[in-house]
Amino acid sequence: MIPTSLTSISFGISDAADIIATSILAYYLLLLIRGTRAVQITLGLFVLVVVLALSNLFHLLVLATVMQYLLLGTAVTLPIVFQPELRRGLEQIGRGRLFTRPAGETDDEIAAKQVAIVAQAAFAFARRHVGALIVIEQQTGLREYVESGTALDARLSLELLLAIFNPPSPLHDGAVIVRDTTIEGAACFLPLSENAVSAERHIGTRHRAAIGVTEQTDAVVVVVSEETGAVSIARAGRLSVQIDGEERLNKVLSAIVRPPRRMRPAVNPMLANLLSRIPRAVDRSPKLPT
């Protein structure tokens, strides 16, 4: 017997169109925030909602009350937090670019090419005592910092980096942001470190900016001192000691720079390992006599 409540539900063409339209809207909203810090913020909000649901399920009244007030305050601040994404989305809608097809995948050697060019450029600057700040984007998107400078969307090359940081160039004062093998922007402004320890070390503004952006994102920054020509790496809010040679810098960057987001395997390694064992189990199973 089918319950009466289920038989009374009607599903028509308008309902299907409603579901399809909502799914398309959700898909393009996810495309809009992809590659930005809004992804991590959205995941954090999802965790808060899950905690609230569990607290209501298990009748944890105090925790549920705290989570309700916390989510209420978060909802008020959402327009401020997502202001860059909202502005960019409205601009793309006005230009008719929101529904354009995203770029295709790149090859497997992106990380190696990127590291080699950045390391070569860093020591070219070091030999000439030219200050440089090269930000390598990781999982957290850096679009808001790209928008603070000059958007380039140019192919990463040694010659272009040398031209950008050449002192007479109007783009030399600021940071270059690199994503895969593309220079997203130049002359970008980065947040200065708020850590009191970095301020007490009397480091320059360029190094404080390198530390500052790594405190807020997972980016890796190569910084070259204009005074001493020293090459250092900033990561996770910390500044490394001086790196001696280009080969050493290449090895260090290769160890800490992650492969591009879209190059990561879609299958869980544990699941792939289990699937790889299935044929072996089949082969070892006893055969029935015919």
Task: State percent of the chain over pLDDT 70.
Answer: 75
The token pair at 26 is 């959700």
pLDDT bracket for residue 153 (50, 70, 90): confident
SS3 content of the chain, % helix, strand, coil (to 5): 55, 10, 35
Please say whether the dihedral angle defined by the alpha carbons of residues 61, 63, 64 and 70, taken in this order, is positive or negative. positive
- The mean per-residue pLDDT over the stretch 54-67 comes to 91
Please give the Cα distance from 1 to 5 (Å, whole number).
Answer: 12
Q: Are residues 29 and 38 in contact, defined by beta-carbon separation less than 8 angstroms?
A: no
> Which of these ranges, 99-108, 149-158, 254-263, has the smallest mean pLDDT?
99-108
In this prediction the pTM is: 0.60
Q: Are residues 65 and 136 in contact, defined by beta-carbon separation less than 8 angstroms?
A: no
Q: Are residues 73 and 253 in contact, defined by beta-carbon separation less than 8 angstroms?
A: no
Q: What angle do CA 86, 90, 147 make, to 5 degrees?
A: 65
The residue type at 120: Q
Can you give the residue ranges of every domain in the chain? Answer: 16-95, 110-260
Beta bridge partners of 177: 135, 185
Please give the Cα distance from 147 to 205 (Å, whole number).
Answer: 20
- The mean per-residue pLDDT over the stretch 133-142 comes to 90
Evaluate if residue 117 carries a pLDDT over 80.
yes
Please give the Cα distance from 219 to 135 (Å, whole number).
Answer: 7
Evaluate if residue 287 carries a pLDDT over 50.
no
pLDDT of residue 264: 43
- The mean per-residue pLDDT over the stretch 10-24 comes to 87
Please give the Cα distance from 241 to 150 (Å, whole number).
Answer: 30
The token pair at 266 is 């879609």
| 161-205 pLDDT, tens digit each | 999 999 989 998 899 999 988 999 999 999 988 775 554 556 888
pLDDT of residue 80: 79
Structural fold of domain 110-260: YojJ-like (1 (3.40.1700)
pLDDT of residue 266: 41
Own/partner long-range contacts of 111-115 (Cβ < 8 Å, ≥24 apart): 111/254, 111/257, 111/258, 111/259, 111/260, 112/254, 113/156, 113/181, 114/156, 114/178, 114/180, 114/181, 114/257, 115/250, 115/253, 115/254, 115/257
- The mean per-residue pLDDT over the stretch 155-164 comes to 95
